[in-house]
Structure 1
Amino acid sequence: MTPEFAFLAAVLISLQLQLHFADAFGSASTVAVAYGTATVCGITAGKQGQRIQCYRGHEVISVLPHVSFEAISGGQRFFCGLRTGGFSLHCWETDAGFQPKRVYHSTAFPLTDLAVGDAHVCAREVISGRARCWRGTERDGSLFPSPDAALQFQTVTSGSGFSCGILKKNRTILCWGSNGIGSKIQSQFGNLSMVSLVAGESHVCGLTASSGVIICKGNSNAGQLEVPIKSAHEYTDLALGASFTCAIRQKNGAVSCWGGGAEELNIQNNINFNDSFELITAGSDMLCGLKTSNLIIMCWSKANKNSPVVLPLGMIIPGPCVQDPCSSCGIYPNSAFLCDGSGNICKSCQRELPIAVPLPKKPESQSIPGSSSPTRARNRLTLAFLIVGAVGVLAGACTILFCISNCLALCSSSNTADNLELKTIPQALMENYSGRSFSLMELAAATSNFSSENKIGGGSFGVVYKGELSDGTEVAIKRGENNEKTEDPQEKQDAFTSELATLLRLNHKHLVGMSLSIKAVSTQSL
């Protein structure tokens, strides 16, 4: 019998990406927003080393591409990143060519809990729990103060001109800074015991240690402190802007927002409540989240009130890749793939459902064999064809006969199906068309491993699935299965070739930015 091969074809729908300037506040994450330059950054997944990639002005920018990072956080026209292991802290000016500046380096005192405010950056020493801060306001050139070195913190977060932290000894809140906002927030929290804390421009929210209820303090000029649901353990991850607060629902990963800023961004009307998010981060007038289904960044801003924007940064890790053992909550699914074998991502203990959709294994690099033994071939009876295109076009394309002489070269000298091998796409189709190539792994991830929930139709020799690529492009993928008892593989190849020819000649007002690419790959991983 014959080795399996798949033919991939994609009709790409272009997305117009528009980002509005936004302040970024909060705590360490794998996604960051920088103010004043419309820059969003993320730590990439599934690649050698967890490098930083940023999106600014319709351009993807790689930052120190050969260096791994565990956390990033954004501020006013700059963002900072903590290298894997916490031994070095770097910052980049997003309006000055992304040139790195090393702020801290020590192999003896590694850092964690990176937190960038508007103009300052703080972090916590892993061993001592001491909070340390750098940089400061640009107006007077003053340095942002650090709290007493004797204080031990459990976590730290930064806002506009202030930072706050949870003390280890009693889990109460202590704030400091260059304005009076921090002291006001500290007094409002009083002796409340907290387990998490996230800062916005002038307000702070966190989960209480006793019941896991969200408590918000600080400025409430737009209702950003008015939590809609105050039941225990309702929310997990938090993101705060200038006049809004957002949180992830613990039971399903959906995002809820409140406050006047959320209404201005039209978030609640433009969010799919069936979408689950791994994490969220906010600027003063922007919210970005990492989708569970494909680990891509989606953002809401004033410039995109009608619909969110998907950024072309590819998959982003949902947490740092660590070498240490994870807690009792276990390891995040597919950590080996996401961290590219350089550690594991620890699963959040606060999240119930859902977990990430399993990703296909990375295919091994190997040449396509010229022949295979009958015994080995019998173990692979399925011949898969993947065609991406518009469903309405594909439904009628199977009836069109298109003969190309090069198709004959795809068959071996034997007339039996057992000796048939598909080696390449007919040259006549490829000469006049070129485009982006997609791996089988990418298309499997785009359709949640060809989940039945993504099924949207069928045709003469396959099922059509809806999908979303890592850059946010929406595609339809047709996957056909060959029944060797009733189907002739050569006939299926002819039908497949006919569909490709039809797509190449097609112009339709409902298909925007068509780009067809065909590639033969092994489907052994299916």
Structure 2
Amino acid sequence: MTTGPLLLLLIAASLALTPPPASASTLAVSPGGGSGAAATPTVCGVLDYNGTLACAPVSGSGSASSNATASAVASPLAFAEVSAGAGFACGLQAGGAALFCWPPSPAPGWDSLRRVYAGPAGALSGVAVGANQVAAYDAAAAAPGSILWWRGGGQFPASADGNFTSLVSADGFSCALLAANASVRCWGPSGGAVQAGFGNATGLAYLAAGGARACAVESSSGAVLCSGSGSDSGSVPVSGAANASLPRDLYGLAVGDAHACGLHRLNSTAVCWTLGGPTTTQFEPALGVQFELLAAGGNVTCGVVSVDFSVLCWTLGTDATPVPLRGVLPGVCVQNESACPCGAVTPQSQRLCGGSGGGVICNPLGCDAVPPVPPPSGPPSPAPASTPAPPSSSSSRVSKAWIAFAVVGAVGAFAGLCSVVYCLVFGFCSNKRVHNSVQPNLTTTAAEGGSNNNHNNGGGGSVGASPYGSPNGSRARALFRRQLSRVMTRQRSGPSSFKDPAEEFTVAQLEAATGGFSPEAKIGEGSFGTVYRGKLADGREVAIKRGESTGPRARRFQEKESAFRSELAFLSRLHHKHLVGLVGYCEEKEERMLVYEYMKNGALYDHLHPKPPGPAAAANPSPVASSWKLRIKILLDASRGIEYLHSYAVPPIIHRDIKSSNILLDAAWTARVSDFGLSLMGPLPSPEDEEQPPVPRSQSQQRHWLQVKAAGTVGYMDPEYYGLHHLTVKSDVYGFGVVMLESLTGRRAIFKEAEGGSPVSVVDHAVPSVVAGELGRVLDPRAPAPAPHEAEALELVAYTAVHCVRLEGKDSPAMADIVANLETALALCEGSAGRGGGAALGRDSSSSASLSATSMDRSGMLAC
């Protein structure tokens, strides 16, 4: 039982001794330093499909011009790495046998290329270009981390013997980390000053350099250390001491002339800050966007987006914008896992490296990396561990550091082996198990596109796909209709109007509005925050979400900050009648608060699952409890808000926490979707995804989901996301399907049939009855018996929900289809659907099918 924590402790203890991966990159930014085309900032990247190199211009605002295109660099050649400085850019040919350099032009020609080095295969790696020098590792040297230099005007040594990692270059210096203790060593005319700025700091990682500065992360504390000064004499040097104003727990640093950026360990989003001035300013250029790596040059920073490996660029204080580079390799390919710290590799790296001569891409987090989620069938296989060999030397003396590392590595390997044996014997490695009636188990099938939805649950612990496929008979036909045009969809969802800028409040103002955040003002909980009702000085009623301050201080503040930034960014830019309205925010010291429009009638959850009623509640029952029409209207309102997020935000926004407690009701009972603290920007859908029925994922389609650690509320999470960490817009569709079943049955997402019984999900409770045509058995008994036209509407809502909660997202409908069905259901409730009467619930009827437009039934499968 203690092997898991012991293993984590040993890994954490050995992190400072593990040499971080080299800073070689597949993305580079040159600020430009010449005239004409050479003066234009340029971003270059190694393309993942064939290893060729392409460059694109970047404007002063960090974006490409409207007619900018990417230009190939020596397209017959495949490259492994690229690096750039103010004077030129260089690419290392795949295999490490040749090094080419060219002026930093957005469209260099063959005549611009100069071969700086030619040698045997694998001779070079880790290219790092500065203002006028090129450095790289010499694989043929006695010590594997020895460094060679070219150009540089005689200001750099020809070589430096030793075991170095994380080689970087900038204006007037090159630096690397000494593998033995991860301390900084620098060369060149400015190298001594930069090295001195880091002092005696050891255990450093993620070294980066740009302009006249270098930065690194202290492994033990997570603090960012920077050294160097600007080229202007009035700039303030940045010392190597930990700066409390800089962000913490970052990786993947990139440094420009007067700024630096890094990636949050928590969510891989980018944060940047200024360097060299009297104060430090932080900003986040692409809230909610996850990056694989960053590169900087001059005042421009660019990053490879995790979703589709496209490139976004920005300058200091501006939002990230796309440049015409897509499919950039998310890291340098190495031969195998043994070249990566702890054997940690990025997902899909073997496939991505097929075209560039390598084997895998190391995960930049190294020993801290979260391993990819294994397929659900079969026991988990441990990630291969590797122990770096000590540096070779003619001396027989072995350093004490390597002896300590070997001991720690051996103990860690033994503990890991014990953990694997424990997992195999007891059948699980998770700290938290969820009953299979709460989250359905997953299975992989031989063909994803198979139409058989009836699999037996074998004794191996994994169950087949849900036995509740398309409703049988006439109910399976014409349940969803594909819309004639996206214009019609936009009209149905309602317009989005111009949004006034959010107001900034002080803590004192919001304390006064809530009576000092009194318990009486508390009205609910949100992601990482408590919600209070308040009244501003001008009389406006508002809801105020205040970030929690309890728990482990450092981690809790980071989570609170991430949720605050995410929600503020999304709600500041989005405005729709079915999304909660943001009034303003408060950001003062460690306080983070968001101010919303007050929703007088609370959350849908409170009306579907009220607390034990008292005399007042009996006298004034909720209209939601007594009206099927109002329930359907609320569902329609919420679906329109979610459709707006999925269809009209570019990239689409995935809410990640759709549930009844996040659907709020205003004074007029209009529903609005709330709580964007967990939201992320999703992958862009391809035209084929929008126009064609779903097909099994091919290799070219594998990027239309995000590989993200599961977050949300158990019972509402999509099984593909919960089990495989595959996040798509269909994850929100699943959560909304659960909300629909809640609204029909009055049951919580997870409930117990009787006191002391096992937990049951509303999906497993309701879907069998719906598929059997016996919806009446599971309808909320607190609501009145539905009239015939209401019965028909509820049947349509129920079948829509069944399709939303299917195990595979490719089989579930888009939000546009859900909106269309709920509109039909509401029209039925109002008696305006063009039909009289209807079928009673629990009887086999084709009425709902005939009302649902054109049939999309193909080979027994509903194509939505």
TM-score range, shorter-chain basis?
0.5 to 0.7
- Aligned partner of 1:28 in structure 2 is 24
2:512 is aligned with 1:150: no
Q: Does 1:166 align with 2:180?
A: no
Percent identical among aligned pairs is 27
Tell me how many residue pairs correspond in the alignment: 395
**Within the alignment, does 1:205 sit opposite 2:205 as a pair?**
no
CA contact (8 A) 1:173 1:194 kept: no
Q: Distance in 1 between matches of 2:280 and 2:42?
A: 18
1:124 corresponds to 2:137? yes
Structure 2 CA distance for aligned equivalents of residues 68 and 263 of structure 1: 45
Verify the 8 A CA contact 2:134 2:150 in the aligned structure 1.
yes
**Contact 1:387-1:479 at 8 Å conserved across structures:** no
Q: Which amino acid aligns with 2:41?
A: A
Matched, 1:294 2:283: no
Aligned residue for 1:419? none
Within a 5 Å distance, the mapping from 1:9-48 to structure 2 comes to: 27-36=23-32, 37-45=40-48, 47=49
SS at match of 2:28: strand
Could you tell me which amino acid in structure 2 is paired with residue 52 of structure 1? L
Residue 724 of structure 2 corresponds to none
Higher helix share: 2
Q: 2:326 is matched with which residue?
A: 314
Contact 1:77 1:93 in 2 (8 A): yes
Residue 324 of structure 1 aligns with which residue?
A: 336
**Taking CA–CA contacts closer than 8 Å with sequence separation of 6 or more, which of the two structures ends up with the larger relative contact order?**
1
Is the contact made by 2:302 and 2:313 (CA closer than 8 Å) also made in structure 1?
A: yes
- The answer for the alignment partner of 1:405 in structure 2 is none
Question: TM-score, normalising length from structure 1?
Answer: 0.61
The answer (yes or no) to whether the contact 1:204–1:218 under 8 Å persists in 2 is: yes
CA contact (8 A) 1:279 1:318 kept: yes
Contact 2:272 2:285 in 1 (8 A): no
**Equivalent position SS for 2:171:** coil
Aligned match of 2:614? none
Q: Deviations over 1:2-29 (max 9, x none)?
A: xxxxxxxxxxxxxxxxxxxxxxxx9521
Structure-2 separation of matches of 1:306 and 1:94: 23
Shift in CA distance, 66/169, structure 1 to aligned 2, threshold 3 Å? same
Measured after TM superposition, the shift of residue 163 of structure 1 is: 1.0
**What per-residue deviation string (whole Å, max 9, x for no partner) do you get for residues 409-437 of structure 1?**
xxxxxxxxxxxxxxxxxxxxxxxxxxx98
Task: Identify the range of structure 1 (68-77 vs 219-228) with the bigger mean alpha-carbon deviation.
Answer: 219-228
Query: Gaps (5+ residues) in structure 1?
Result: 1-25, 137-141, 359-375, 398-435, 464-476, 495-522
Which residue identity is paired with 2:45?
A: G
**Gaps in structure 2 of 5+ consecutive residues:** 1-21, 33-39, 58-64, 375-448, 454-469, 471-475, 495-684, 690-697, 707-726, 738-795, 802-813, 822-845
Q: Which residue in the other structure is 1:114 paired with?
A: 127
**Structure 1 residues 387, 236: CA separation in 2 closer, same or farther (over 3 Å shift)?**
farther
Give the letter aligned to residue 247 of structure 1. Answer: G
Residue 106 to residue 212, structure 1, CA distance change in 2 (3 Å): farther
The structure with more strand, counted as a fraction of residues? 1
Q: How far did 1:450 drift?
A: 3.7
Q: How many angstroms apart in 2 are the aligned matches of 1:113 and 1:453?
A: 40
Amino acid at match of 2:44: C
Report if the CA contact (8 A) 1:294-1:357 is conserved.
no
Query: TM-score, length-normalised on structure 2?
Result: 0.39
Check 1:222–1:492 CA distance in 2 against 1; reply closer, same or farther (3 A cut): farther
In the alignment, which residue of structure 1 is the partner of 2:194?
185
**Cα offset, 1:91, TM superposition:** 1.4
State the match for 1:219 in structure 2: 229
Whether the aligned pair in 2 keeps the contact of 1:447 and 1:454 (CA below 8 Å) is: no
Instruction: Kindly provide the CA deviation profile for residues 312-343 of structure 1, in whole angstroms up to 9, marking residues without a partner as x.
Output: 21122211223323443433112244334763
Larger radius of gyration: 2
- 1:281 maps onto 2:298 in alignment: no
Are residue 492 (structure 1) and residue 854 (structure 2) matched? Answer: yes
Contact 2:84 / 2:104 at 8 angstroms: preserved in 1?
Answer: no
Q: CA deviation at 1:117?
A: 0.7
Report how far residue 214 of structure 1 moved: 2.6
CA 306–479 in structure 1, closer or farther in 2 if over 3 Å, else same: same
Q: How far apart, CA to CA, are the structure 1 residues paired with 2:484 and 2:334?
A: 38
What's the secondary structure of 1:217's corresponding residue? strand
1:193 to partner: Cα distance = 2.3
Counterpart check, 1:234 vs 2:249: yes
Quote how far apart the aligned CAs of 1:269 are.
5.8
CA–CA separation in structure 2 for the residues paired with 1:492 and 1:353: 48
Paired residues for 1:105-504 under 5 Å: 105-107=118-120, 110-128=123-141, 129-136=145-152, 142-146=153-157, 148-177=159-188, 179=189, 181-196=190-205, 197-208=207-218, 211-219=221-229, 221=235, 229=244, 234-259=249-274, 268=283, 270-272=285-287, 274-301=288-315, 306-326=318-338, 327=340, 328-340=342-354, 343-350=359-366, 379=452, 389=486, 392-393=489-490, 395=492, 438-440=687-689, 445-446=703-704, 448=706, 450-452=728-730, 487=849, 491-492=853-854
Is the CA contact (8 Å cut-off) linking 1:292 and 1:357 kept in structure 2? no
Which string of whole-angstrom CA distances, capped at 9 and with x for unpartnered residues, describes residues 101-159 of structure 1?
A: 211121166112211111221111135322111123xxxxx345225543442332111
Q: Distance in 2 between matches of 1:395 and 1:457?
A: 18
